[in-house]
Amino acid sequence: MLLDLASLLAAVVLAAAGGEAFLRGVLGLAAWWRLPTMLVATTLAAFATSSPELTVTTLAALDGQPAIGLGDALGSNVANMALIMGLALVFGDVPAQWPPLRRDALLALLVPLLTGLLLLDGELSRLDGLLLLGLFAGWLALVARQAVRYRQSLPAPEALEPAVRPVRFWSWLLGGLIGLLVAGRLFVSGASGLAAALGMQGYVIGVTLVALGTSLPELVTTLLSRWRGEDDMGLGTLLGSNLFNGMVIVGTAAVIHPIRIPFATVSGVLWIGVLALLLMLPVRGRIPRVRGLLLLSVYAVHIARSLSA
């Protein structure tokens, strides 16, 4: 148990340091590229923080168990919006304008509905997976076009100081991401060890502690963004992570190996994910603090439903 406690302590310290470095790297690259923080967070930051889910999904699909990847992706999406956004709102309202969020939020609502439709026959086929990946490619093309248009609308950049180098931002980002991923692994290892020692069942450990460990990069990034007043960064990371999970991770799993699973098994988590997304949509330029309690309640229902399944 002492080793498990040491793992937990190391995870907390490493997550704090890695999260700070990752945040500085993303913000630095956004400024260097002269792009909105929200745009960079929705793509680069979100894809990076979703790398644990992509690894789990790919390995599970190659091992002939693609349903694990589907569950990981859908469960992570619920954790992103219900748990992490709920915790962020505990500290107060989150400023958020609807126009910058509209495209990504509507797509994030569409993807679980489309996934449910594709699963009505009890299977996500390779063709279904290609459809999800194609949808992601189309979204990425729109994002790239937005980035080009935004840069063209800006005045010519002033000369940057010689000391400013993009390699420094990349070093922060990659170093911070490695720290976050290792922290998540240490957290899962330490918490699982302690839980097993206390007699918790393996499934309970999985749906609580392991899920939280794989969502640790998004959690740390979002909470640090709140603390530093970079709410666009946290919100963009969560939205982008949901899009990446729903289209790339689920699509990749289905392309590698068709996913056969009854619709009734996943319908609950799909609807919970849609509800969580609806609760984080802004009203009059803000996401109200009271939504945080509602989102945390939604997450509690998700955990209770998972434990009773």
Give the residue-averaged pLDDT of 181-197.
Answer: 76
Residue 272 located in a structural domain = yes
Task: Render pLDDT for 72-129 as a digit per residue (tens, 0 to 9).
Answer: 788 888 999 999 999 999 999 999 999 999 999 999 999 999 999 999 999 999 999 9
Cα–Cα dist 147/207, whole Å: 38
Say what percent of the chain tops pLDDT 90: 45
How confident is the model at residue 203, as a pLDDT?
Answer: 45
Within a domain: 163:
no
For residue 95, the surrounding DSSP H or E stretch is: strand 94-95
- CA dist., res. 291 & res. 297, Å (int): 10
146 occurs within a structural domain: yes
Write out the residue range of the structural domain in which residue 68 sits. Answer: 37-150+199-308
pLDDT of 150-175, one tens digit each? 888 877 655 555 455 678 899 999 99
Q: Which of 157-171, 176-190, 237-251, 260-274 has the lowest mean pLDDT?
A: 157-171
Q: What is the dihedral of CA 180, 181, 184, 186, to 10 degrees?
A: -100
What span, in angstroms and rounded, lies between the C-alpha atoms of 241 and 104?
A: 11
What confidence score (pLDDT) does residue 156 get?
61
Does any domain span residue 6? no
Amino acid at 82: A
* CA pair distance 223, 221, nearest whole angstrom: 6
Between 99 and 199, the more confident residue is 99
CA distance linking residue 216 with residue 192, whole number of Å: 15
CATH assignment of the domain containing 276: 1.20.1420.30
**What pLDDT score does 6 carry?**
86
Q: Are 67 and 44 in contact (CB under 8 A)?
A: no
Cα-based angle 294, 297, 303 (whole degrees, multiple of 5): 150
Residue 271 has pLDDT above 90, yes or no: yes
In a domain, 81, yes or no: yes
**What is the spatial distance between Cα 88 and Cα 234, in angstroms, rounded to a whole number?**
9
Q: How many domains, the chain?
A: 1
**The predicted structure's pLDDT at residue 201:** 56
**If you average pLDDT over residues 238-252, what whole number do you get?**
93
Residue 181 lies in a domain: no
pLDDT in tens, 18-50: 888 888 888 888 888 888 999 999 998 888 888
Task: Give residue 89's Cα distance to chain centre.
Answer: 17
Residue 113 amino acid letter: L
Q: What is the rounded average pLDDT for all residues in the chain?
A: 86
In a domain, residue 180? The reply is no
Decide the pairing of beta strands 123-124 and 259-260: antiparallel
Q: Is residue 70 part of a domain?
A: yes
Evaluate whether 186 touches 14 at the Cβ level (below 8 Å).
yes
Q: Is the pLDDT of residue 307 over 50?
A: yes
